[in-house]
Amino acid sequence: MAQGKYPEALLREVREIFRAYMRRKNLRQTPERFAVLEEVYASEGHFDADELFLRLRQKGASVSRATVYNTLELLRECNLVARHQFGRNQAKYEPSYGYRQHDHLICLDCGQVWEFCDPRLQDVQQLVEEVYNFEVTHHSLELYGHCRRENCPNRSTAL
């Protein structure tokens, strides 16, 4: 999740990418869309659409839930946001520009999410592409289980 050293520079970059994308697609550059983008990049870690909506509301921005969902979708299309489906719950989002690709480790007891990378996944993906004559655009890998942290709610269970 490590945010870059120069958040205002990052913000300028992503704003420009978004602007270019909207120009190219003939979409309107509304203040609401930029407000969503900024709130996304002000985020630490994962968040869901409603959290983002509430945060925007608290700051006085007048964006509707519908616009939040709509804009998150646009940001996903230009790869500024990634969406993850952990279990059956609501989708989680995260800023994705300038972050290296990673997968997720989820504790079933405390719900905490960690990130990890493993280059071997690239190899797996490549082999599958060849064997199945398939073009892989993205993947989703989550490992579920039990963390062993002191403060994890279920730590004491024998299992």
Q: Using CB under 7 A, list all residues that contact DNA.
A: 22, 27-33, 48-50, 62-67, 69-71, 73, 88-91
48, interface contact from a copy of itself, DNA, none, CB < 5-8 Å by kind = DNA
Residue with Cβ nearer a copy of itself (20 or 141):
141
Whole-number Å distance between alpha carbons of 89 and 76 = 19
Pull the structure tokens for residue 69.
Answer: 């969902």
Q: Quick one: which H or E segment has residue 123?
A: helix 120-132
The one-letter amino acid code at 17 reads: I
Whole-number Å distance between alpha carbons of 13 and 98 = 10
Interacting residues of 157 by C-beta distance below 8 A, sequence separation 6+: none
Q: Least CB distance from residue 122 to DNA, whole Å?
A: 28
32, interface contact from a copy of itself, DNA, none, CB < 5-8 Å by kind = DNA
Site string for a copy of itself, 83-122 (x = CB under 8 A): --x-xx--x-------------x-xx-----x-x-x-xx-
User: Looking at 22-76, which runs of residues are DSSP E strands?
Assistant: 47-48
DSSP 124: H
Report the residue from 4, 140, 153, 154 that binds a copy of itself according to the rule CB under 8 A.
Answer: 140
140, interface contact from DNA, a copy of itself, none, CB < 5-8 Å by kind = a copy of itself
Pull the structure tokens for residue 34.
Answer: 């930029």
Residue with Cβ nearer DNA (89 or 137):
89
Cα R_g (the chain), whole angstroms: 18
Which residue, among 97, 148, 100, 98, has the nearest Cα to 121 in the 3D structure?
100
**Taking contact as CB under 8 A, which single stretch among the options 14-22, 52-60, 74-82, 130-138 is the one that binds a copy of itself?**
130-138
Residue ranges that bind a copy of itself, judged by CB under 8 A: 85, 87-88, 91, 105, 107-108, 114, 116, 118, 120-121, 123-125, 127-129, 131-148
